Every structure is written in C-alpha cells, then in structure tokens.
C-alpha cells in the first residue's frame, strides 16, 4: 500500500481529504491482515461493498452446535467487517441479514435471528457513533415485529447526522420484491396520469429503489463457497465484481475481508467496453431519444 513513512493512509471517501488513519489503527503490525492491508492501493478501494453472509449453519453443524450458534458467532465477523470498512473509508456496506425466503426456516431460528439483530443494534450503537457511521435498514421493514422496528428506528434516528460510512442491513429483503414495488409505483403513477411511458427510464427506476441516491455495489462478496446471488440487489449488482470466498461467514475475519478487497483491485472493470478504448460510437437512440 502506498503510504507515508509514518504509516498512515489518506482515507478514501472521507469528508476531509486530509484525514489520515494510521495503518496500526486498521490492522496490527506483524499480522497476516496487516500484510494484506499493505498491498492495498488506497485510491482504488470499492465505494460500495455488498455482502451475502453465508455459512453460519454449516459452521455450527461442523462443531456439533445448534445452527443458531453459527448466527451468534457471525456477529463478530459483522463487527470486524464494518470496523475495517469504516476505517478504510468505504462509503457504503450493505449486509444481507435476512431474506424474504428466510421466513421458511424453523420458528426458533427466525426468532433467534431477530433477537440477535436487536441485541447487535443495541450493543453496537456506541460503535456506530464512535466511527460516525450512519445506519439504515432496507427491505420490507414494515412487516417485521414491532420490537425489531423499534430498535431499527432508534439506530436510524441516533445515527442520522453521522457523515462517515453508511451501513445498510437488508432485512426481510427480496430483490424481486423491490423491483415489483418499483413497477407497482410506475403503474400507479401511469394510471394517475403523472408518468408517461417515455419518462420511465433507468434514472426513474433507480430513484424508486430502496438504495436511491447511492452508488451501485462495486464489489459483492459471498462467503461459504456458494456461488449465487440469491435474490439480493438484483438491479444494483448489474456490473458489480463478484468475489466468492470458501470461508464460512463466522470465520470471515479482517484478513479475509482485506483479501476480498485486494482481489477486487486485481480485477479490470470494463462495464461492457474495452480497456482504454479510443474513439467510440454514440449508442443509437430510438424515436423518443432513449438509448
């Protein structure tokens, strides 16, 4: 990593460009995590990292523990990932904590997950404030239990004026449901005469997603060796780099997260074009001037 002799890096995405975070504040000297950190190029970090935290159940089963113990152990990986991302100045981290399909799990597991989430938010609020992190849940939050909503609202309110990284937790989330909701809004506006078919474009759709105003994820990480998107951020992931880690989520520590960032920096992002293309065509437009 290019850093000054004093061992600090300019934070990326931070409000003040001259804020420096010491490498020692991110990873202890002499550790494997530090060795990976030192290979990172600070100016080429992803702005938005999305994560599918998978493998909690298998982690617990391998230790003859109930599945819920895997979720409990996964909280430490959540904490390490968020703190590292915040210190590196990554603008947005979106964690997939509970999908609409997860309701199909045994009642005890669902209730434990919701309980862990409440506990986590209560306990981590101080850390969010310390690191100036803004908290935001996405998904059908209105359908969650009142006690869960109360903790979520409290964290949103308490961190609303924070200006550091945005931490998004996807809860009762489904990418298809999100797109269906956008289509419904469009149909409603069209029926009311406030949306003409030609006004419905990518910008309109992005303005009606739960992630409106945010950049799309540059990097999607999925742990546990599974290689699927599982109904996560279907629109937003169109051009994300995907990193599949064989590591089960509870074992996904700071070093593993930094390794994912390093792998991202080795990718060449072309967005459908070619590297360093010179003269290019202007995309053809239809009779309404749309591409």
| 78 contacts ligand FPP (rule: CB under 6 A) | yes
Start-to-end CA span in the chain (Å)? 40
Tell the smallest beta-carbon distance from residue 277 to ligand FPP (Å).
40
3-state helix, strand, coil in the chain (%, to 5): 45, 15, 45
- Of 8 and 100, the one with the shorter C-beta distance to ligand FPP is 100
Figure out which of the listed residues 46, 120, 151, 259 binds ligand FPP, where binding follows CB under 6 A. 120
Alpha-carbon gap, residue 65 to 87, rounded angstroms: 33
φ, ψ dihedrals at 143, nearest 5°:
-95, 0
- Stretches 19-27, 56-64, 134-142, 210-218: which one binds ligand FPP (CB under 6 A)? 56-64
Residue tagged active-site, from 4, 32, 64, 102: 102
Residue 172 a catalytic site member: no
| 174 contacts ligand FPP (rule: CB under 6 A) | no
| 95 contacts ligand FPP (rule: CB under 6 A) | yes
| 76 contacts ligand FPP (rule: CB under 6 A) | no
Residue nearest to ligand FPP (CB): 57
Asked if 87 contacts 34 with a C-beta cutoff of 8 angstroms, the reply is no
| 137 contacts ligand FPP (rule: CB under 6 A) | no
Q: How many CA atoms lie within 13 A of 148 on its CB side?
A: 19
| x-marked contacts with ligand FPP along 36-55 as a string, rule CB under 6 A | -----------------xxx
Residue tagged active-site, from 54, 91, 216, 218: 54
Element (H, E) at 242: strand 241-244
Grouping H, G, I as helix, E, B as strand and the rest as coil, residue 38 is coil
Tell the smallest beta-carbon distance from residue 81 to ligand FPP (Å).
10
Residues 13-20: contacts with CB within 8 Å, 24+ apart?
13/45, 13/47, 13/89, 13/90, 13/91, 13/165, 14/89, 14/164, 15/163, 15/164
Tell the smallest beta-carbon distance from residue 96 to ligand FPP (Å).
7
Tell the smallest beta-carbon distance from residue 260 to ligand FPP (Å).
16
Tell the smallest beta-carbon distance from residue 232 to ligand FPP (Å).
11
User: 114 to each of 66, 76, 96, 215, 267, how far by Cα in Å?
Assistant: 16, 16, 13, 28, 36
- Of 49 and 97, the one with the shorter C-beta distance to ligand FPP is 97
Residues numbered 229-268 forming contacts with ligand FPP, rule: CB under 6 A = 249
Residues forming the site for ligand FPP (CB under 6 A): 53-58, 71, 74-75, 78, 95, 97, 102, 113, 116-117, 120, 169, 224, 249
């Amino acid at each position: 990593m290019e850093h000054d002799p004093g061992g600090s890096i300019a934070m990326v995405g931070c409000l003040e460009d001259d804020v420096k975070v010491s490498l020692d504040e991110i990873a202890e000297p002499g550790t494997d995590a530090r060795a990976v950190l030192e290979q990172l190029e600070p100016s080429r970090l992803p702005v938005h990292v999305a994560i599918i935290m998978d493998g909690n159940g298998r982690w617990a089963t391998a230790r003859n523990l109930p599945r819920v113990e895997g979720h409990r152990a996964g909280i430490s990986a959540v904490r390490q990932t968020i703190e590292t991302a915040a210190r590196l100045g990554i603008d947005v981290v979106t964690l997939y904590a509970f999908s609409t399909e997860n309701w199909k799990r045994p009642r005890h597991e669902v209730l434990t997950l919701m309980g862990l989430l409440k506990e986590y938010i209560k306990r981590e609020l101080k850390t969010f404030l310390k690191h100036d992190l803004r908290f935001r849940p996405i998904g059908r939050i209105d359908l969650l239990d009142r006690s869960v909503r109360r903790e979520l609202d409290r964290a949103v309110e308490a961190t609303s004026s924070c200006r550091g990284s945005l931490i998004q937790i996807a809860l009762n989330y489904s990418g298809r449901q999100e797109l269906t909701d956008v289509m419904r809004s469009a149909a409603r506006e069209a029926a009311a005469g406030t949306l003409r078919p030609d006004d419905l474009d990518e910008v309109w759709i992005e303005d009606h997603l739960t992630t409106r105003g945010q950049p799309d994820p540059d990097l999607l990480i999925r742990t546990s060796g599974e290689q699927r998107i599982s109904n996560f951020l279907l629109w937003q992931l169109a051009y994300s780099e995907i990193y599949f880690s064989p590591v089960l989520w509870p074992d996904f520590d700071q070093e593993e997260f930094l390794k994912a960032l390093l792998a991202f920096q080795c990718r060449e992002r072309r967005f459908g074009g070619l590297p360093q293309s010179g003269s290019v065509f202007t995309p053809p437009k239809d009779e309404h001037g749309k591409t």
